[in-house]
Structure 1
Amino acid sequence: MPFYAPGFDPLLIVSQIAAMQALLYLNLGLWLLVLNGLAGSNLSSIGLRHLFSPDSISISYAGGWVTILALFLNAIAGQAPHCCPHPSSFFLCFIVERAKKCLDFAATAHLLHLFCCIVYGGWPIAWEWWAVNIMCLVLMALLGEFLCMRRELQDIPLFGSRGGRKFSSSERE
């Protein structure tokens, strides 16, 4: 049996990374579909190029702006369950659950995205690609840490599933 530090579970970490990547790409794909539909683009032309091509992020044409907006919305916007209002930050809050691990998982997700972009379309040379992805990384990490800290600081219910229910004087006796 291998020796690991207490709390270190490599299988859990790999599964969390895989879950983060899958959820981020699913969410980004949905944003791209919605925004391209609203922009009047041909929805049949949306594909892997929008996700992985470094050329899809550009400020010189409208389609590039749509992709940039989708990336930012993927990092910061939308509504999710009660404690976490931002999708990718919600994914960090839900999957990672620890504020001190959010930067690690956000950076890992973006490094894996860089690797996928390199495999699909070559090394990204456009400054727009780097600027957008670095800003998305920072936003995702900061919001994820904020939401995780907020979740960690929530009161712990002590009286079963009813939580902090107030008892009347007759019920206490």
Structure 2
Amino acid sequence: MFYGAAAWDPWLIASQIVCLQCLHYLTLGVLMSIFVGTRVSRMSLMYFFDFSTVTVSTATGWCAIVSFLLTSVIGAVYMLYLIERAKKCFDFSATVYIVHLFLCIMYGGWPSSFIWWIVNIACLALMAFLGEWLCINHEMQEIPITRLRSNA
């Protein structure tokens, strides 16, 4: 959809980053409300950006982890349609999670939880590799060539 003819188009790249980041948080919000929202009395940004909520010691923490992992899988599908190039998938995945790291730092300080780092690195790898795999499969599809037949 956004793939252009120009090799370097900063407006295209910026719009892809903004679209992917917005879709990432929209998807994360929907999944958090499904998984975590049923377990807590009040949803807040804490479940998005506070590293202490990503834990394996509580059921709510496991629900947050599942939400993050499913968001990365769905993000790979978004990259298939927004990025369309396998060689760019890692760059855009890393950008999504670097922006997420900065937002987490601004919200609650440096993430000191080992589980938070494991989950986010796994999500980055999952989104990048699955996005590359989907894009490669899409790029390898045959281009249909229809023959024009005259009705004479």
TM above 0.5, one fold? yes
Aligned residues: 147
- Secondary structure of the equivalent of 1:45? coil
Partner of 1:94: 81
1:17-56 to structure 2, matched below 5 A, reads: 17-37=17-37, 40-42=38-40, 45-56=42-53
CA RMSD in angstroms comes to 1.9
1:105 counterpart = 2:92: yes
What TM-score does the superposition give when structure 1 sets the normalisation length? 0.79
Residue of structure 2 aligned with 1:129, choices 98, 112, 116: 116
Structure 2 distance, partners of 1:171, 1:64, is 65
- Deviations for 1:60-99, whole angstroms, at most 9, x for unmatched residues? 21111110011111122xxxxxxxxxx2111111111000
Task: Look up the match of 1:139.
Answer: 126
Q: Percent identity?
A: 43
Q: Distance in 2 between matches of 1:47 and 1:74?
A: 18
Structure 1 residue ranges, 4+ long, deviating more than 3 angstroms after superposition: 170-173
Which of 53, 63, 70 is matched with 2:67 structurally?
A: 70
- Other-structure match for 1:118: 105
Which structure is richer in relative contact order (CA contacts within 8 A, separation 6 or more)? 2
The superposition leaves residues 11-54 of structure 1 with CA deviations (integer Å, 9 ceiling, x where unpaired) of 111110011100000001111111135xx424x51121111111
What is the TM-score when the length of structure 2 is the normalising length? Answer: 0.89
- Of structures 1 and 2, the larger Rg is shown by 1
Displacement, 1:171? 6.9
Whole-angstrom distance in 2 between the partners of 1:67 and 1:91: 21
